[in-house]
Amino acid sequence: MTTATRVLTVDDSPSMRALLNHALSTQGFDVSQAEDGMAALDWLALNEVDVVITDINMPRLDGFGLIERLREGSRHRDRPILVLTTESSEEKKARARAAGATGWIVKPFDPAKLVAAVRRVAH
């Protein structure tokens, strides 16, 4: 029996969440969604996940803060975290990498490439 890869997407835009949900769930992923970094932390405190996909610009707790908080503890130290963002600056990409991100994807995303990346990093 195979178990679906569990993905948490973190994005403050309902439109983007809808696109992500459609792109991933139609490919067999078990998708959960959070609207910002704080909501993601609350959800992750009670649930297990295989891959996190996060936006950068979000209210309350942004993507950088989310990655830093997840890497602080032992539970999510090795969890694959993909950043999916409209940001294209090298400085922000370097910051995400230093915070512990696993990969960087620039919007607008291509559903096939996103799915391939999630499959590649999922343990």
Partner 1 sequence: MFETRILADGALTPDRITVMQGQAVVSAEARAELSTVLGSCVALCLFDPEARLGGMNHFLLAEPPVNASGDTVDEFYGTYLMELLVNQMLGKGARKSRLKAHLYGGANVNRNMMRIGSANADFARSFVQREGIELVRSDLGGNNARRIDFRPASGQVRCRTVEDRFAPPVQPTTRPEKATGDVELF
> Residues in the site for partner 1, rule: CB under 8 A?
12-16, 18-19, 22, 57, 59, 82, 86, 93, 97, 101-111, 113-114, 116-117, 120-121
Nearer to partner 1, 6 or 93 (CB): 93
Tell me the closest approach of the beta carbon of residue 46 to partner 1, in angstroms: 26
CB closer to partner 1 out of 54 and 102: 102
54 near 37, Cβ under 8 Å? Answer: yes
Q: Are strands 6-10 and 51-54 parallel, antiparallel or unpaired?
A: parallel
Q: Is-contact 114 105, C-beta < 8 A?
A: yes
- Residues paired with 10 in a beta bridge: 34, 54
